[in-house]
Each structure stands twice: as structure tokens, then as C-alpha cells.
Chains A and B, each alone.
Chain A
Amino acid sequence: DAGVTQSPTHLIKTRGQHVTLRCSPISGHKSVSWYQQVLGQGPQFIFQYYEKEERGRGNFPDRFSARQFPNYSSELNVNALLLGDSALYLCASSLGRGAVSSNQPQHFGDGTRLSIL
């Protein structure tokens, strides 16, 4: 079975542009989370979606938005890019049966490495 897939793998943008990152969860997983990992740090939680609804949001500005589609895939959008947005963006999926459960192990994709020039 395929794991979590993310696209693109690498992306270079300039300040002020916007970007859309995509994620396909493991088959059968209904919960998708997004994390930002700046070089040398641990991942920071951005969003969690379950059944197309936002179920959690981290301390990120409104320039960051996301959505989940009926097939449980997800997009992360970032507007008005800043140099500080350069990072590895990780998507994770989990089963999330019924209500989203915090004890479910999250399975991560390889990430999208975003560089802002």
C-alpha cells in the first residue's frame, strides 16, 4: 500500500508569491495534519483536518490555509510568502475513527521542501 504522498517534493518561490502544497493520505485514513519544520527544529503543527472539517489549528498567521477534499486528500495554501516560510512542510495522516483521536500514530510523507528567495 502506498504511504502518504506529497507533491511537489521541492519548490522555489519568491517573496510575495503564493504556494499550494498537496497531500494524499494513506488509503483508509480520514485525518490529515500539516506541519512546518524549519531547518534544525522539530515539526510545528499547522492544521488538522478530519472529514473535510478543520479540527485543529496551530499558531500560524492567516496567510496559511488548508482544505480537505471528499477523497481525504488535502491542500495547504500559503499566501504572501516570506523568507521565514522556507521550510520542510510535512503532511501526516491517521485513521481517526469516529472523532479524531490523539492516540492514533500519525504517518508522515516525505515532505515538500519550500525555498523562498
Chain B
Amino acid sequence: AQKVTQAQTEISVVEKEDVTLDCVYETRDTTYYLFWYKQPPSGELVFLIRRNSFDEQNEISGRYSWNFQKSTSSFNFTITASQVVDSAVYFCALSVMDTGRRALTFGSGTRLQVQP
């Protein structure tokens, strides 16, 4: 079975601060994919990034960066110089190459509040 843990329920920062959202996953599969999604108050889940289990290279996209470490089963997400528009709930998710069930397993989410 797969499991994703986002231990931080809610984080509040002041604009321009850097913030890191933690994600720890569990799976027995050797091939899997990790995702981050953003859910603004409107409810839509917005895809941010996908990584596969064979690629531990960190990735940067503008103010966003991701740190994937298989040794600790973590896939953390950092927002640099946070902005009010970053306020949302962020979900980490996992999918595996399971022929019987191709689905995303989500964590419980981290609510990020960026204060002006």
C-alpha cells in the first residue's frame, strides 16, 4: 500500500519569506511518480510538478524548487520569496506502476497562508 504524509497542517509566513513544505512517502514499488498540486480557494487542483523514482535531480522553476531524496523518501517543495498569491493548500501525491490501480494517493495537504 502507498502512503503520503504531509506533517505540516498549516504554515503562515510573511510575504517574501522562503517556505518549505514537507512530503514523506511510503511505497514498496521501485517505480513510482511523485507530484505536487496546488489547490486555491476555488477548489481546482493545479498540477505543479511530476518526478519519477529514477530521477533524483532537483528541479527549479521560477520561485519554486523541489528536493527529491530517495534515501529519506522525501519530496519537499520550497517557495522562495513567497507572495500572497501563493496562499493555498498544497498536496503531495504518489502513483505507482500498479496494473490494477492507477491512481494518485494524496497526502492530507498543507495550508499555506502568506501574509502581506
Contacts and interface: CB of A to CB of B under 8 A. Distances in A.
Contact of B95 (A44, A88, A102, A107): A102
Contacts, number: 69
Given A88-B43, A108-B44, A43 B102 contact: no
Given A48-B103, A56-B103, A105 B35 contact: yes
Interface size for chain B: under 10, 10 to 19, 20 to 34, or 35 or more residues?
20 to 34
Contact of B109 (A42, A109, A110): A42
Interface residues of A, number: 28
A105 B43 contact: no
B96 interface: yes
A55 B102 contact: yes
A56 B106 contact: no
B43 A42 contact: no
A101 B95 CA distance: 10
Interface of B: 4, 32-33, 35, 37, 42-47, 50, 52, 91, 93, 95-98, 100-109
B95 A103 contact: yes
Contacts of B109: 41-42
Find the residue from B100, B102, B106, B109 having the highest chain A CB count within 10 A.
B102
A66 interface: no
Contact of B102 (A40, A42, A101, A113): A101
Given A48-B102, A102-B96, A105-B50, 8 more contacts: A35-B104, A41-B109, A43-B104, A45-B105, A55-B102, A102-B95, A103-B52, A105-B47
Given A55-B102, A56-B100, A58-B103, A43 B50 contact: no
Interface in A72-112: 88, 90, 92, 100-103, 105-111
